[in-house]
Amino acid sequence: MQRRTFLKAALAGGAALAACGRPRVELPPDRRATRSRVAVLPAASYDADLTDLLLRGLAFFAPEVRGRRVVLKPNYVEFDPRGAINTHPRLVEAAVLAFLRLGAVEVVVAEGAGHRRDTEYLLGASGLDAVLRERRVRFVDLNLDRVAEVVLPTRFTSLGRLWLPRTVLDADLFVSMPKLKMHHWAGVTLSMKNLFGIVPGAIYGWPKNVLHQAGIPGSIVDINAALELPRLAIVDGIVGMEGNGPIQGEARAAGVVVIGDDLPAVDATAARLMGVAPERVDHLRWAGGFLGNVAEERIVQLAESPARLRQEFALPPGFAKLRG
């Protein structure tokens, strides 16, 4: 067993061996489009007109939101005033305004923090609460939401089924809004990994160690494959995190927002923006086999060229193999 694999299993709680290698499973039916489109939009700072920027980006995808309920899922796994852990509240605010302007009947912000149970602290300290109050936006704590049992259609883990929050399952449009970050177990954490935050802590705990025990890459794929509802991703890469993410890495200004309706394709593009070869990230490679497009030749890049904005983010310890 590799040194890193042991450490992953041990830190995840000690089940060990749970996350080794690709599970031997038959791939489910191919859901990939022939081509996917991903928009890469330069954004110098959080003081820019982000609502306008998102409206320009969303125009490429023309999501059907008129009269619909939109659920935004940013990343508030934990808060550290010295760090760059969270999707910036200004980008969340811009997304709220953009979807309302596009005719959404309601925009809900929903998160199930992974490390801290104290949601009042997380929202207050991060500044998200002030935005929610100012814009009169409803927040749903996904850790405490009503749940329904979902049979997982894929078997990248032995989980089989999960309780998932009704707010997500009933959404007309679900928008994953991750931070552009490295991750010391998964390689990268983007719109797909962000879905760990929909798994309810009231059932699975803080942290959601059941997913670690089952294998992080496999859990990411199983959860994403289970959500058969319209989805978008908006990645906050204005300031990202390099190195030992998702909590203790260093802030890295990347000046970019990435938007798309194929989450693996969005994450593959975001990985390339960080100098990571997405095919070398387990969950992206597996998802690229059936769930969405990861191969460069199957992604049409809109707006700015990722090659022009690409930076070499410091990799997490032990992940030198990811450099593309």
Residue 15 engages another protein in binding (rule: CB under 8 A): yes
**Contacts with another protein, 126-145, as mask; x by CB under 8 A:** ---------------x--xx
Q: Considering the complex, what minimum distance in angstroms separates the CB of residue 161 from another protein?
A: 11
The separation between CA 153 and the C-alpha centre of its own chain, rounded to angstroms, equals 20
Distance CA 146, CA 209 (A): 20
Among 48, 106, 155, 244, binds another protein (CB under 8 A): 244
Gyration radius from the chain CA atoms: 18
φ, ψ for residue 110 (rounded to 5)? -135, 135
Window of 43-51, 115-123, 217-225, 290-298 that interacts with another protein by CB under 8 A = 115-123
Residue 181 engages another protein in binding (rule: CB under 8 A): no
Are the C-beta atoms of residues 184 and 125 closer than 8 Å to each other?
no
Residue 213 engages another protein in binding (rule: CB under 8 A): yes
Total of residues contacting another protein (CB under 8 A): 47
φ, ψ for residue 264 (rounded to 5)? -60, -35
Residue 103 engages another protein in binding (rule: CB under 8 A): no
Window of 46-54, 63-71, 197-205, 278-286 that interacts with another protein by CB under 8 A = 197-205
Are the C-beta atoms of residues 18 and 215 closer than 8 Å to each other?
yes
The separation between CA 221 and the C-alpha centre of its own chain, rounded to angstroms, equals 12
Choose between 21 and 103: whose C-beta lies nearer to another protein: 21
Side chain identity, residue 10: A
Neighbours of 100 (CB within 10 A): 17
Of the candidates 211, 75, 76, 73, the one whose C-alpha atom is nearest the C-alpha of residue 152 is: 211
Among 10, 27, 59, 130, binds another protein (CB under 8 A): 10
Q: Considering the complex, what minimum distance in angstroms separates the CB of residue 134 from another protein?
A: 15
Q: Which residues bind another protein (CB under 8 A)?
A: 1, 3, 6-7, 9-17, 80, 115-121, 124-125, 141, 144-148, 163, 184, 201-207, 209-210, 212-214, 244, 247-248, 317
